[in-house]
Structure 1
Amino acid sequence: MNLSIKNLLVLLACCGTLLLAGCKGKSTTNNYNIKVTVSGLVGGGVVLQDNLADNLAITGNGVFTFASQLSSNSTYSVTMLTSPSLPAQSCTLANATGTVASSDVTNITLTCVAPEFAYVASSGGSSVATYIINATNGALSSAGPSVTTGNSPVAFAMDPTGRFAFVANSTDKSISSYLGNLTTGLLVSAGPAVLLSNAPNALAVDPLSKFLLVTAGNSIVSYTFNANGVLSSAGTATTGNAPSGIAVISNSSNEYAYVTNGTDNTISGYSVNAAGVLTSLGVVAATGNKPSAISAAPNGAYVYVTNSTDGTISSYPVTATGTLGVATTVASGGNAPVSIAVSASGKIAYVANSTSNNVAAFSISAAGALSSIGTATTGNTPSSVSVDPSGAFVYVVNSTDNNISVYQLTATGALPATVTVLSVGSTPVSVVTAVK
């Protein structure tokens, strides 16, 4: 078949166009994932967004990926639409904004701080209330219903894990046991109360969560507890007269307990084995007049005692055998000190002075010496002080006012000029803070 020159040129042009298109190939665009690594989350309800859209529900710890992918050179901005609840937590996003390169974005992190709780035992209400601590300003909010105790609770203690809690009931001459919910912080009864021969006045759990010690009458009673919080007696030992406070330390491979004797002006010491059995060390130190509270440094190197009548605090070094060295004593910053709490860092101590209605702060040197760094006003008749595990907040219950004073500490641990107050149950006698 003959083709005209014109038609031939058209045909050649079309073929050239097709060949050129084939040489160029297809144009493609690569899309990449935006991933977030989550850690420390206990609460629920967290939702993240990318570029204010593409909601991503976070259901726990691990790596989570947004549904929508982004192409190279696209920008991303991850934000938190809703924060954790039950319990509330403070969470921080890192590396949350940037530009997509040529691979998945994998360096975004969401890190949450473990929730902290405050527990307030009220003697008049025969109850313990649980509060959630706001990680930003220390404010307290109710975690839920209070639990009932025996009649006239006088002391509250919780083990370091936050799993087990105990209350000394004065009128009933009993110890109530509770299990702490590690998510909500709320307490539930671990069973019937354990009866004592005399009214209890102080209790403490050892740092290794092996046993509970209780003073009642002129004796100290030791209990072990199982995974359900049920107490089993491990024996008793004699104290001095009118025991008023207990501190327990873990020193190397040994554990030691110390009891202040209110009318003898002494401290009794005990070694405690893994089964909770007490062996008396006798009187290990003299105190000032009417010693009341006793607290230990977190590393077990020192114990601190408030001397109520003298208005002083004594610091004692702990020896390798559990005996106490020579005390150094300073003024408590007020009158009738009745409670002392040492920060988790071991560098700051706080003392509640019950008749001068104030709380005092002290720095602690490497040698265990106390130096005043100021005071702050409390309500009427402060009876118990606690510093939260992060060392950022101090709480004082005021028995006459039926409230709790909340202090947001300075960077140096000093008390602020302003304080917030929250009403609590009738005649609060003890406050303890814990991290789950």
Structure 2
Amino acid sequence: MHPRKLLGLAAGTLLTLTLAACGGGGGGGGASFPLIAPAAPSTPAPTYKISGTAAYGHPVAGQTVQVQDATGKVCASTTTASDGSYSMDTTACAAGSAAVFLAGYTTPAGAPLEAVAIPPQGTPVIDGVVNVDPLTTMLAYAAAGLVLDTSAPADNAHVLALLSKVSAAQYQQARTSLLIAPLLQVLQSTYGVSTNGFDPTTSTFAADGQGLDAFFDAYLFTATPTSVQLQAPGSIGPLVLVTLPTTAGGGSAVTSTTAYNIGGTVSGLSPGDSVTLLLNGGHAFTTNANGNFTFPTPVAGNYSVTVGTQPAGKICTVSNGTGAGITASVSNIGVTCSAITYTVGGTVAGLTGTLMLQNNGADTKTVSANGAFTFATPVAWHGSSNVTVNTQPAGQTCTVTNGTQSNLAANVTNVNVTCSTNTYTIGGTVSGLTGTLALQNNGADTLVVNANGSFTFSTPVAWSSTYNVTVNTQPVGQTCTVTNGAGANVAVNVTNVSVACALTPQPVFVYVPDYGNNRVLGYRVDTATGVHTTIPGSPFAAGTDDRWVASATTPGGTFLYATNQATNNISAYSVNQSTGTLTALTGSPFAGGAQPGSITVNPAGTFAYVANRQGANVSAYRIDQTTGALTEITGSPFAAGVIPIRIAINSAGTFAYVANQNGGNVSGYSINQSTGALTEITGSPFATAGSPYSVAVNPAGTFAYVANFEGSISGFSINPSTGALTPLTGSPFTGSYTAAGWQAITVNPAGTFVYASTGNANGHNGPVVVFSIDADTGALTNVPADSYLDGSGVFYTTFDSTGGLAYVGSFINITVALAHVDPLTGALTSFAGSPFNVGARPYNLAVVKPSP
């Protein structure tokens, strides 16, 4: 039976090979050595460097290699040489893992080339050998746990963010898994060995010529202190060859393709002539005869055939002399020799740096100025030319046209090389935005952003230039801060500018009617932190059983009104814009109707309307724009339904709607813009699906929603001319909470969500529930996951003007909550320390913003 070697993979950092014999016994030896030696020097050098080779089947020359450290900064950069090699100083890189990648380069399949450097323990920055090729790219993804992802990482930062969770042992295991993958494929496809969970160190092995034994009989393993090789039968080169580092910190070179013969045809030689050809700069091969030739040394991956020594008096030209990623032997290389030769050249335009060209993979020509150029080595008669860019100028991309020509019979002068300066886009991400933000780059190129997510400026910047992203216009009620916003020497697209938006710290005054205690409570609330304090002078005296408060801002100041249900009047106050303190107006309290309930002020702040619960009507008042005093409007009170309870006015101030609690309907009115008088709309009252406790109109004035006590929402479309209500298709709408006790309803300022105060099995103490609004039909869809303050008896919810903050009054728990609003889901999330106790059962609350 054939001798063979058994590959064993030790967990962690060791790759162990064990030599075994099969058949009637036998012995063998084994050796173990590190796949990657992670040990750091005992004393770090004063500077740190990495070097390596960039390759994709062949050297990737003239490309920018960059290092992005764990902070997201590009901390080192250089350009690969003609053989793909590079070296750079990494002393400026931060501690931790780093991505090493070819900036702006992708393979023909569109894949990036990148690697990940994990510094030895104790080393502050990366140092050593890091190759950049498809294998290292797979290793980077595997080490970051991305091998099962359906798509590649969006950028290097994605990989780096995950690497912090990867241990050194896991990284080594990722490398080991990739190295053994070709072996497992052969085991399964050829020898029927199940590779599910296969581990050569523990899987059963029997010397019976079957399964694993048959595999090791056919495939020869060899191992030295510096290499491991699996040799496939009948092949020229190795199936897998791993060349291990000889010093700590060195890198491993991996070949996983079979080597192939390289050859072609020579023509044009005369008796006595000879030509020496080179393969990949070496492996010299001399021939003195025309016809077929083959280099004695096979190669894997890539090849480049050039002329080492020309025949006397002649020039030999190589065609088809280069290739990459080969999967079969090559036999189409042409070597044409002739005493008649022609020069190859052309013109360069747009160049600003230094460009290196090659003809037929050799004869490098350095060009530093625009104009004509000619290669030093001519081309044989009937030979061919293939002009390519060997090294791009810094910050430019040069393109060759008319570069490939064959059967030459004249000098070539029409090769055109056009160079253009590289440009790069500037962008990043915005988070926390609830309004409209305007950004600028370099003081211009204004970009308006209306949503969270990625952004990119429309005007790119030139290579090696600078960028400076700033906020041109802040969104209303928010302050946005830019990080990673400035940079210089741009050489890649910038995607890591971060713009974080947060509520602008601004105090508000919150007023709560203390029903039963005949007073109004006042609080100063910080909208950035949620911290609250009592307003000086609070509580403020009111009438008996004050139930509802509303504010109005006029040219004369800001005023607050509280309806006193038992004394049938309205207390009125001026609001001190500095302290929030309330001072009773001259003439306060003002006469009201029978049991005044809620009070609503029109958007212009000129009229106030009060629903009189036992009067079955609505009182209307003109607000004095200087003093805030109330004067009842001629014709007031205006008839309504049975127990009118809440009033809603559209944003244009042209229509008013009153929920009649025991009438099972909503009264609709048009508002006289001059007098404030109400005129009932034709068709009013409009029937609801239960006992309406609250009504709300969306900001566009196109839909109205009514909270029915029995656990549903009646939805209506609004006729824009008459104000008449028409039930929406699907109305009434229900949600995950169906118990009776629904008290209030409101629409957020964006008109995208409805918030309803619900009941549950325990009575009037359900949560605030959220419904999304169909922008076209007005139909509501409950968002079951978005409920807030269950069991607290939420009776009222209102928003600030931006819609980013909600204020919620809880009747059962006697608290007020300040909450962030998710603009995408409508969900409410309490500030730290919220909700806070207010010592009163808030049927509603009023929020007043101090003047700037």
Q: What TM-score do you get using the length of structure 2 for normalisation? A: 0.37
SS in 2 for 1:331: coil
- 1:126-165 map, 5 Å: 126-146=518-538, 147-159=540-552, 163-165=558-560
Q: Kindly provide the CA deviation profile for residues 259-316 of structure 1, in whole angstroms up to 9, marking residues without a partner as x.
A: 111122111111111211111225242112110011222232222110002x011222
**1:218 paired to 2:627:** no
Kindly indicate whether the alpha-carbon contact (under 8 Å) linking 2:592 and 2:619 is maintained by their aligned counterparts in 1.
no
**1:268 paired to 2:667:** yes
Q: 1:233 aligns with which of 632, 652, 655?
A: 632
> What residue ranges of structure 1 are gaps of 5+ in the alignment?
1-88, 99-110
> What residue ranges of structure 2 are gaps of 5+ in the alignment?
1-476, 487-502
Which structure is larger by alpha-carbon Rg, 1 or 2? 2
**1:391 paired to 2:803:** yes
For residue 381 of structure 1, report the CA deviation from its aligned partner.
2.6
Kindly indicate whether the alpha-carbon contact (under 8 Å) linking 2:655 and 2:669 is maintained by their aligned counterparts in 1.
yes
SS in 1 for 2:802: coil
Kindly indicate whether the alpha-carbon contact (under 8 Å) linking 1:155 and 1:202 is maintained by their aligned counterparts in 2.
yes
Letter in 2 for 1:221: S
**1:349 paired to 2:741:** no
**1:209 paired to 2:605:** yes
Q: 1:312 aligns with which of 694, 706, 712?
A: 712
**Counterparts of 2:680 and 2:722, CA distance in 1:** 12
SS in 2 for 1:337: coil
Distance 1:155 1:248, change over 3 A: same
Q: 2:513 aligns with which of 114, 118, 121?
A: 121
Deviates further, 406-415 or 207-216:
406-415
Partner residue, 1:414:
827
Aligned residues with identical type, % of pairs:
26
**Counterparts of 2:668 and 2:651, CA distance in 1:** 13
SS in 1 for 2:743: strand
Letter in 1 for 2:773: I
**Counterparts of 2:732 and 2:553, CA distance in 1:** 29
For residue 152 of structure 1, report the CA deviation from its aligned partner.
0.7
For residue 421 of structure 1, report the CA deviation from its aligned partner.
2.2
SS in 2 for 1:151: coil
**Counterparts of 1:171 and 1:195, CA distance in 2:** 12
**Counterparts of 1:158 and 1:92, CA distance in 2:** 30
Q: 2:596 aligns with which of 164, 179, 200?
A: 200
SS in 1 for 2:580: coil
Q: CA RMSD in A?
A: 2.9
For residue 178 of structure 1, report the CA deviation from its aligned partner.
1.8
For residue 206 of structure 1, report the CA deviation from its aligned partner.
0.7
Q: 2:843 aligns with which of 406, 429, 434?
A: 429
Distance 1:93 1:188, change over 3 A: farther
Partner residue, 1:7:
none
Q: Kindly provide the CA deviation profile for residues 94-121 of structure 1, in whole angstroms up to 9, marking residues without a partner as x.
A: 89x99xxxxxxxxxxxx96664332222
Distance 1:221 1:417, change over 3 A: closer
- 1:249-398 map, 5 Å: 249-251=650-652, 255-273=654-672, 274-281=674-681, 283-309=684-710, 311-319=711-719, 320-327=721-728, 328-334=731-737, 335=739, 336-354=741-759, 355-367=764-776, 368-373=778-783, 374-398=786-810
Kindly indicate whether the alpha-carbon contact (under 8 Å) linking 1:139 and 1:406 is maintained by their aligned counterparts in 2.
no
**Counterparts of 1:396 and 1:390, CA distance in 2:** 16
Distance 1:333 1:207, change over 3 A: farther
**Counterparts of 1:312 and 1:381, CA distance in 2:** 17
Kindly indicate whether the alpha-carbon contact (under 8 Å) linking 1:133 and 1:139 is maintained by their aligned counterparts in 2.
yes
**Counterparts of 2:553 and 2:707, CA distance in 1:** 23
Letter in 2 for 1:135: T
Return the structure number with greater relative CO, CA threshold 8 A, min gap 6: 1
Aligned length: 333
**Counterparts of 2:519 and 2:602, CA distance in 1:** 23
- 1:55-134 map, 5 Å: 115-134=507-526
**Counterparts of 2:705 and 2:765, CA distance in 1:** 20
Letter in 1 for 2:734: A
For residue 391 of structure 1, report the CA deviation from its aligned partner.
1.9
For residue 395 of structure 1, report the CA deviation from its aligned partner.
2.6
Partner residue, 1:171:
566
Partner residue, 2:339:
none
- 1:11-26 map, 5 Å: none
**Counterparts of 1:169 and 1:434, CA distance in 2:** 20
Kindly indicate whether the alpha-carbon contact (under 8 Å) linking 2:765 and 2:812 is maintained by their aligned counterparts in 1.
no
Deviates further, 144-153 or 325-334:
325-334
Distance 1:160 1:295, change over 3 A: farther
**Counterparts of 1:139 and 1:369, CA distance in 2:** 37
**Counterparts of 2:716 and 2:838, CA distance in 1:** 35
Deviates further, 111-120 or 134-143:
111-120
**Counterparts of 1:173 and 1:333, CA distance in 2:** 39
Letter in 1 for 2:608: L
Kindly indicate whether the alpha-carbon contact (under 8 Å) linking 1:160 and 1:207 is maintained by their aligned counterparts in 2.
no
Kindly indicate whether the alpha-carbon contact (under 8 Å) linking 2:681 and 2:722 is maintained by their aligned counterparts in 1.
no
**Counterparts of 2:576 and 2:800, CA distance in 1:** 18
